[in-house]
Amino acid sequence: MLATSIFAPVHTLEPFWNWRHRYTSEEDERSPFVGREHSEFEFTHAVYDHAIHPQWDEFGSATLYMKMLFVDYDEGYAIIEFIGEWNDLLGNDIMFLKRDVVEPLMAHGIGKFILVGENVLNFHASDDEYYNEWFEETADADGWIALLNFREHVRDDLRAANIDQYFLLGGHLDQMDWRTFEPEDLFEKVEGYVMKRLGA
């Protein structure tokens, strides 16, 4: 359960909006969220009993929500922001993410994923089947999955479950002021770190 004191202002946390003049997932015909409509006034989604801003997208999880901030099909990458509790143990969130979001994107050539997790407040592990599958499929496509600004205790929980092996995280990726970049500049910077890590 999430602490109320942490989640008190959660309804005010909007997905990053500075790139919306360049990309919106609800207008992207290749997006899993094409045609999705959002209210500016009705708070219909919640994490437990804490309402969240209506601009966040539901994808099957009861406690984790997301926003596809930018997708570049030519360069093959997606930048996705999350909010809530990532719960594979009770909700199998990774299954919904992999099947309903990642796979449709990969079908359109996306192989590099930047996951922004500063608003992911907890992680609860189950098995690693979907993580391994995702990792292998991105590797086959010369891709990768980078975690950006996930909280320290969440990273610790990923490591404790041995799931961190499927992601690139840590170092500069934990302390990046990503909102100051244009999406292609952020991708270039993250990919530079990734290539150094992979020894390319």
Instruction: Please state, in angstroms and rounded to a whole number, the distance separating the CA atoms of residues 43 and 9.
Output: 13
Burial of 179 per CB tally in 10 Å (0-12, 13-18, 19+):
exposed
- Mean pLDDT of the region 136-155: 96
Q: How confident is the model at residue 8 (pLDDT cuts 50, 70, 90)?
A: very low
The pLDDT of residue 166 is 97
How many CB atoms are closer than 10 A to CB 129? Answer: 11
- Mean pLDDT of the region 57-81: 97
Instruction: Please state, in angstroms and rounded to a whole number, the distance separating the CA atoms of residues 40 and 78.
Output: 25
DSSP string covering 126-163, please? --SHHHHHHHHHHHHTT-EEEEES--HHHHHHHHHTT-
- Mean pLDDT of the region 135-163: 96
- Mean pLDDT of the region 3-30: 80
**pLDDT 10s digits, 170-182:** 999 999 999 999 9
The pLDDT of residue 39 is 66
Q: Are 171 and 147 in contact (CB under 8 A)?
A: no
Nearest to 11 by CA among 65, 67, 59, 54: 54
Round to the nearest angstrom and report the end-to-end CA distance of the chain: 41
The pLDDT of residue 51 is 83
Q: Are 7 and 84 in contact (CB under 8 A)?
A: no
| Residue 9 confidence (pLDDT) above 70 | no
- Mean pLDDT of the region 124-143: 96
For residue 191, give every residue at least 6 positions away whose Cβ sits within 8 Å of its Cβ, in sequence order, or none. Answer: 112
pTM value?
0.92
% of the chain at pLDDT higher than 70: 90
* Fold for the domain defined by 20-198: Transcription Regulator spoIIAA (3.30.750)
The pLDDT of residue 84 is 95
> Domain-by-domain residue ranges, the chain?
20-198
